[in-house]
C-alpha cells in the first residue's frame, strides 16, 4: 500500500469514527475471559495479557471500521510515548518536546471521541485520566534515565493507581465493562511501557522490538474488543 493510500485510508477511518459518533473508550473495557493480570511493573518482569476473544466474523461493517479507527488512535499513543523515551535517553530536548506534544494531542483525540455519548464533562475527565497515565509513564522514564530507584517506585505506584481510576470511570460508563478485567488489561499495558523503557535504556534493541510487537498486538486486541462492546451498548448506531 502506498503512503498516500495509507494516509487516505487512515483519514477515512477517523472521519468515519467522527461521523457515527463512536466512543473511543479506554483500552480493554469489555470483560476478557482468560486475561492474565500483570502482577509487577518492574523491569525484567514478563507481562502477558490476552483478550481471550476470538475474531468476530459477524461484526457489522460499522463495527469493523470503528475497530480500525480505534487501532489508529491507540497505536498513535504507544508510538509517541516511545518517541519521548528515545528522545530522553538521547538527551534530545527538541525531539522530546515535539514527541510529547504529539502524545498530548493524541490523548486529546482519544478523549474527544467519548463526548458524543457521554458529554463534554466525561471527555474532560477521560483526558485527565489519560494525562495521568502519560505522566506516570514519563515519571518512570525520567527516573530510569537518572537511576533513581525511589522515584521509579513512586511512578509505578502512580501508574497502578491510575489504572484503577480509569477502570472505575469506564466500568461505570458501559454495562458491558467489567472493572477487574479492564484493570488487568491496563496493568498489562502499563507493564509494556515500563519494560520498553528499561530495554531502551539498556540498549537491548532486539528485545525492545519484540516488546513493541507485543504492545501493538495488545492494543489491537483492545481496540477490536472495545468496538464490539460499543456495538452492544449502542446497537442502533452500529446497525
> pLDDT tens, 196-212?
999 999 999 999 999 99
Enclosing domain of residue 83: 59-238
Residue 169 cell numbers, joined? 470511570
Angle at alpha carbon of residue 78, lines to 149 and 75, rounded to 5°: 165
- 44 belongs to a structural domain: no
pLDDT band at residue 57, thresholds of 50, 70 and 90?
low
- 206 belongs to a structural domain: yes
- The alpha carbon of residue 194 and the mean position of all alpha carbons in its chain are separated, in whole angstroms, by 13
* pLDDT of amino acid 28: 33
pLDDT digits (tens, 9 = 90+) for 69-85: 889 999 999 999 999 99
Contact 12, 69 (CB under 8 A): no
pLDDT band at residue 165, thresholds of 50, 70 and 90?
very high
CA distance 25 to 116: 12
Contact 50, 34 (CB under 8 A): yes
- 66 belongs to a structural domain: yes
As a whole number, mean pLDDT of residues 90-110 equals: 96
* pLDDT of amino acid 87: 98
- 31 belongs to a structural domain: no
pLDDT digits (tens, 9 = 90+) for 177-197: 788 887 888 899 999 999 999
pLDDT digits (tens, 9 = 90+) for 5-37: 445 444 544 444 444 444 333 333 333 333 333
Contact 35, 181 (CB under 8 A): yes
Task: Find, among 138, 116, 115, 137, the residue nearest to 127 by Cα.
Answer: 115
How many domains, in total, are found in the chain?
Answer: 1
Contact 26, 174 (CB under 8 A): no
* Whole-number average pLDDT of the chain: 80
- 95 belongs to a structural domain: yes
- 27 belongs to a structural domain: no
Predicted confidence (pLDDT) at residue 48 exceeds the cutoff of 50: no
- 32 belongs to a structural domain: no
Long-range contacts of 164-171 (CB under 8 A, 24+ apart): 165/129, 165/132, 166/26, 166/129, 166/133, 169/26, 169/125, 169/126, 169/129, 170/25, 170/26, 170/29, 171/29
* pLDDT of amino acid 56: 52
- 213 belongs to a structural domain: yes
pLDDT digits (tens, 9 = 90+) for 131-150: 999 999 999 999 999 999 99
* pLDDT of amino acid 221: 78
Radius of gyration of the chain (CA): 17
DSSP letters spanning 10-74: HHHHHHHHHHHT---PPTT-S--TTPPP----STT------------TT--HHHHHHHHHHHHHH
Amino acid at each position: 500500500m502506498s503512503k498516500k493510500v495509507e494516509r487516505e485510508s487512515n483519514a477515512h477511518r477517523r472521519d468515519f469514527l467522527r461521523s457515527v459518533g463512536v466512543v473511543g473508550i479506554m483500552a480493554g473495557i469489555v470483560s476478557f475471559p482468560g486475561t492474565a493480570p500483570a502482577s509487577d511493573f518492574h523491569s525484567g518482569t514478563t507481562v502477558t495479557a490476552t483478550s481471550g476473544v476470538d475474531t468476530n466474523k459477524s461484526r457489522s461493517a460499522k463495527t469493523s471500521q470503528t475497530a480500525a479507527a480505534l487501532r489508529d488512535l491507540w497505536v498513535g499513543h504507544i508510538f509517541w510515548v516511545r518517541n519521548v523515551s528515545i528522545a530522553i535517553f538521547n538527551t534530545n530536548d527538541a525531539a522530546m518536546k515535539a514527541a510529547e506534544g504529539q502524545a498530548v494531542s493524541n490523548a486529546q483525540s482519544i478523549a474527544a471521541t467519548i463526548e458524543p455519548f457521554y458529554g463534554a464533562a466525561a471527555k474532560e475527565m477521560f483526558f485527565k485520566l489519560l494525562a495521568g497515565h502519560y505522566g506516570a509513564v514519563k515519571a518512570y522514564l525520567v527516573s530510569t534515565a537518572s537511576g533513581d530507584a525511589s522515584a521509579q517506585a513512586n511512578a509505578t505506584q502512580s501508574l497502578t493507581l491510575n489504572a484503577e481510576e480509569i477502570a472505575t470511570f469506564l466500568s461505570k460508563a458501559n454495562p458491558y465493562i467489567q472493572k477487574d478485567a479492564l484493570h488487568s488489561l491496563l496493568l498489562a499495558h502499563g507493564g509494556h511501557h515500563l519494560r520498553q523503557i528499561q530495554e531502551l535504556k539498556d540498549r537491548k534493541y532486539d528485545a525492545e522490538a519484540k516488546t513493541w510487537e507485543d504492545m501493538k498486538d495488545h492494543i489491537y486486541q483492545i481496540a477490536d474488543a472495545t468496538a464490539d462492546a460499543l456495538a452492544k451498548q449502542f446497537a442502533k448506531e452500529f446497525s
